[in-house]
Amino acid sequence: MKPIPTLEAASGLRLIMRRIKAILRPVDFITDRARQYGDFYQLKLKNAPPTVMTSNPQAIENIFTASTDKFEVGRGNKMLTFLVGDNSLLLLDGKEHKNRRRLLMPPFHGESLQKCSDQIVAITNKVIADWQPNKAFTVRPVMQEITLRVMLSVVFGIDSGTRYDRLRELLTALLDIFNTPLSSSFMFFSFLQKDWGKFSPWGRFLLLKQEIRQLIYAEIAERRELLASGTSGLRDIFSLLLLAKDENGEGMTDEELHDELITLLFAGHETTASALAWLFYWIHYLPEVQDKLRFELDSVGENPDYKTINNLTYLDAIVSETLRIYPIVAGAFGRILTQPISVMGYDLEPKTWLMVSIYSLHHREDLYPDPEQFKPERFLQKTYSPYEYIPFGGGNRRCIGSALALLEMKLVTTTVLSRFQLDLTSNHPLFPVRRGLTLAPPSSFKMRIKNKLA
């Protein structure tokens, strides 16, 4: 058996310091590990199964193409229970995961994107309607407002009303609790998850989460009545979930519905908001990128349809490079082996954790020359395999909303650029910071409205 390179074990204070570095300086932490241990290594802790980390395309292919019965993924995501509940797609495995995924896929693909595209453009125009020249704005809240409204519309089929407005406010407030690297530590250290009242971070989190839960349960009850009476013509994801039956003819419980809706709302807007913030940064940080993009947009005339925008080659390359250089999620979901498996000639035993580093993969010099430089052209010159470029993960755990997220990034960008010229308030380069489980631009990132075009 070929020995696996092993990272020096740590415990006690040293282990805590490593975790703190991973939270406060995630990119440095990932880069240092890759530089020191290569693209395939394991970490062994006392009284714990080994964790294997890889950013090797061959190893990733071995993992993503292996039979799904060789892994458990849900158990590896249990740390997310506090946020999404026990019944989330993220925490399911086996047949249950397969069936739930099959149920959720259609609304995010195919003809459903046509309806989504109209909603995305309308929502973007509504959010930016009051923009005026020479005004500065903080980028993240704007992008978060757009993506949250889109997900509420796509998931719930609603875009107004007292409950809708309150839910939008609460979801934003909940996620903003983890908007700094320091506050994100509550996700990683269970001893910090203590309720010391409504003015403590965790106490506030629990209060917000409970009110969100009550609103969603009220929406479930109301929607069940509408569907039972036959007066609802809604075909949103929420209604589809309510109508779905398993092989025994049983529908989803209120708790299962709540957990799935929360998962879709959080995963569907938080990550896309960060990606959009990065996209606007890169377009305006590099003038040549903006010039090429505006030339491409001018070539398709006024009011192009969503398919035309979705197929613009340079815009697609900018989006791809944005998700490469600073992937929103640094690593794919951990997979826990249930059976022996061979990866790159290494024999791995059951209970081993397999982790894929998306960030390290996307910064391999052999795949992406000058990986620290933003170069959209690399995606015009080469087609990368699903084991070399994985911003949405891979295998049976690839993000179900990837097509919607990509379309949303393109439509929001083209809608804003068609109406305004923007610039950065500072030319200093931005670097990723931790925001909860994701990598995002600093929350202080601002832009200025330079001119109004339409």
Binding site listing for heme: 399
Separation CA 430–CA 299 (nearest Å)? 31
Cα gap 9→302, rounded to integer Å: 59
CB distance 16 to 174 below 8 Å: no
Residue 11's contacts (CB-CB under 8 Å, 6 or more residues apart) are 45, 46
Long-range residue pairs from 240-248, CB within 8 A, at least 24 positions apart, any chain: 240/103, 240/106, 240/107, 241/103, 241/104, 244/103, 246/99
Tell the residue number behind the tokens 């500065």, with chain if given: 136
Give Cα 135 to chain centroid, integer Å: 29
Angstrom distance (rounded) from CA 279 to CA 413:
8
Please check whether residue 420 is in contact with residue 128, taking contact to mean a CB–CB distance below 8 angstroms. yes
In angstroms, what CA-CA distances link 410 with 223, 276, 311, 407? 32, 9, 10, 5
CB count in 10 Å sphere of residue 347: 11
Residue 14 amino acid letter: R
* DSSP classification of residue 197: -
Distance of CA 229 to the CA centre of its chain: 37
DSSP code per residue over 95-114: HHHHHHHHHHSGGGSTTHHH
User: Residue 69: CB partners within 8 Å, gap ≥ 6?
Assistant: 94, 338, 339
- Indicate the annotated binding residues: 399
| Contact (CB, 8 A) for 303 and 125 | no
